[in-house]
């Protein structure tokens, strides 16, 4: 078992919320996780229950329909879910950080009024269209274009690996697109809301992924898709800069998710080591296994400290870009290392998908890639040191 949450200087309300979500994860999410993974199906009944609990509205003010919490509280919920099912955790993380937060941060009053109530209640989800076939880590190289014609944006291009883009409750996707160029030939990138069902907007078949099987992920194609000029999200030409800020916040949430994954591996490995008998003794009685589990505990603790620190800086209105990168780097490494060690402790059983450590082993790799690769985090940290 990981260190008690009371040791992290949390408020009573935050500890209570973390315990509530952990119970929900153990009693509702975990029993359904294997079948959801096997059938590659996002259980919408679980998503609905998360909405009823107010999880999608956690870091938003009450005046817009949120719960009045902060990013620490959101991270605690995501971490608790990721212990047992990363697909469910990323559905919440993306629903908040990539779906609702751009509308809250940059939307007009009309856009907020139209979209936020359903997004924050979990009745709707939204996708975040940034990555393209030719623009991944270099997202500024986007080739998707949007041109004004008769008071409408005409969008052409493609996006890939877009989470929450094809569920039964997906209402729209926001996409970055080139909307012009400045006098110095610098490309102008803006962000536009494209509702589901827009003619010329096609959601491709779901990906056959290595992990996160129950998470909804699709490619998107835009061929002359027309939306009103008022669907511009934020200031024209500020789309890429705005989404870099959104990604910084998202990295905190992903770090919390990765910490939960690392913790889930630890919990499963400790339980297995205590009950598995080898040569007449429990596996956990062997010092080599004890040391392996001790290092797993160390990784969980350090990862939690890292994302909590970044989240607290963010909540206090202080710069957190570097700390978010450190948190994501630390926790994604921890998730992969703990998944590997837990699988080793489980032996042959660790290779069977019915065991959660096998799913964590498959799921955790994307944590070193999504929302900024390990190399991008290293680059950001190096830049903070004044290195070109």
Last residue of a domain, one of 179, 213, 237: 237
The predicted structure's pLDDT at residue 245? 86
Count how many domains the chain has.
3
Q: Do 274 and 358 belong together in one domain?
A: yes
Q: Do 245 and 380 belong together in one domain?
A: yes
The DSSP call for residue 229 is G
Give CA–CA dist 341/266, Å, rounded. Answer: 9
Domain with 119 in it: what CATH number?
1.10.540.10
- Give yes or no for a contact between 334 and 324, defined as CB atoms under 8 angstroms apart: no
Give CA–CA dist 134/154, Å, rounded. Answer: 21
Residue matched to tokens 């620490």: 72
Q: Do 264 and 363 belong together in one domain?
A: yes
Percent composition of the chain: helix, strand, coil (DSSP 3-state, to 5) = 55, 15, 25
Residue span of the structural domain in which 153 resides: 126-237
Q: What is the mean pLDDT of each run of 10 residues along the chain (388 residues)?
A: 75 95 98 96 97 97 95 98 98 97 96 98 96 74 92 96 97 95 77 97 97 97 98 93 89 98 98 91 92 98 98 96 98 98 96 95 96 93 92
Last residue of a domain, one of 125, 151, 183: 125
Sequence-ordered strand ranges (E) for 164-305: 170-181, 187-195, 201-203, 217-228, 277-278, 281-282
Q: Do 357 and 264 belong together in one domain?
A: yes
Residue 35 among the catalytic residues: no
Q: Do 116 and 131 belong together in one domain?
A: no
The predicted structure's pLDDT at residue 131? 87
Q: Do 212 and 281 belong together in one domain?
A: no
Please enumerate in sequence order all residues whose Cβ is within 8 A of that of 347, keeping only pairs 6 or more positions apart, or say none: none
Q: Do 211 and 232 belong together in one domain?
A: yes
Q: Do 167 and 99 belong together in one domain?
A: no
Paired strand residues for 187: 181
Sequence-ordered strand ranges (E) for the chain: 125-129, 145-149, 152-163, 170-181, 187-195, 201-203, 217-228, 277-278, 281-282
Q: Do 216 and 158 belong together in one domain?
A: yes
The predicted structure's pLDDT at residue 1? 47
Q: Do 373 and 349 belong together in one domain?
A: yes
Q: Do 60 and 75 belong together in one domain?
A: yes
For residue 270, give the H/E element and its range: helix 239-275
Tokens coding 300: 């969980």
Residue matched to tokens 């969008």: 155
Domain with 230 in it: what CATH number?
2.40.110.10
The predicted structure's pLDDT at residue 13? 94
Among the listed residues 79, 132, 263, 371, the single catalytic one is 371
Last residue of a domain, one of 125, 159, 188: 125
* DSSP calls for 58-78: TTS-GGGTS-S--HHHHHHHH
- Give yes or no for a contact between 88 and 46, defined as CB atoms under 8 angstroms apart: yes
Q: Do 51 and 157 belong together in one domain?
A: no
SS3 assignment, position 161 = strand
- Give yes or no for a contact between 139 and 131, defined as CB atoms under 8 angstroms apart: yes
Give CA–CA dist 252/183, Å, rounded. Answer: 36
């Amino acid at each position: 078992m990981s260190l008690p949450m009371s040791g992290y200087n949390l408020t009573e309300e935050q500890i209570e919320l973390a315990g509530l979500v952990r119970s929900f994860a153990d009693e509702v999410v975990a029993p359904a996780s294997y079948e959801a993974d096997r059938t590659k199906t996002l259980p919408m009944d679980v998503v609905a229950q998360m909405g009823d609990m107010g999880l999608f509205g956690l870091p938003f003010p009450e005046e817009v329909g949120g719960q009045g919490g902060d990013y620490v509280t959101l991270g605690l919920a995501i971490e608790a879910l990721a212990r047992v099912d990363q697909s469910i955790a990323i559905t919440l993380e993306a629903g908040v950080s990539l779906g609702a937060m751009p509308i809250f941060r940059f939307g007009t009053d009309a856009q907020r009024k139209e979209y936020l109530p359903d997004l924050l209640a979990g009745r709707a989800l939204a996708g975040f269209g940034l990555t393209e076939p030719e623009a991944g880590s270099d997202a500024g190289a986007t080739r998707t274009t949007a041109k004004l014609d008769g008071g409408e944006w005409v969008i052409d291009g493609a996006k890939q690996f877009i989470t929450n883009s094809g569920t039964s409750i997906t209402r729209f996707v926001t996409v970055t697109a080139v909307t012009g160029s400045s006098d110095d030939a610098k490309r102008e990138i803006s962000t536009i809301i494209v509702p589901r069902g827009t003619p010329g907007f096609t959601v491709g078949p779901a990906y056959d992924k290595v992990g996160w099987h129950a998470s909804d992920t699709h490619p998107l194609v835009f061929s002359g898709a027309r939306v009103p000029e008022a669907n511009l999200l934020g200031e024209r030409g500020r789309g890429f800069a705005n989404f870099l800020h959104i990604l910084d916040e998202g990295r905190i949430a992903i770090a919390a998710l990765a910490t939960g994954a690392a913790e889930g591996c630890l919990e499963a490995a400790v339980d297995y080591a205590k009950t598995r008998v080898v040569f007449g003794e429990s596996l956990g009685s062997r010092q080599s296994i004890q040391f392996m589990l001790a290092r797993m505990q160390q990784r969980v603790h350090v990862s939690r400290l890292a994302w909590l620190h970044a989240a607290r800086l963010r909540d206090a209105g202080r710069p957190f870009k570097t700390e978010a990168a450190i948190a994501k780097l630390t926790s994604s490494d921890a998730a992969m290392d703990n998944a590997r060690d837990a699988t080793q402790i489980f032996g042959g059983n660790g290779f069977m998908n019915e065991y959660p450590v096998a799913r964590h082993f498959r799921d955790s790799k994307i944590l070193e890639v999504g929302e900024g690769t390990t190399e991008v985090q290293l680059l950001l940290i190096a830049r903070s040191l004044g290195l070109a």
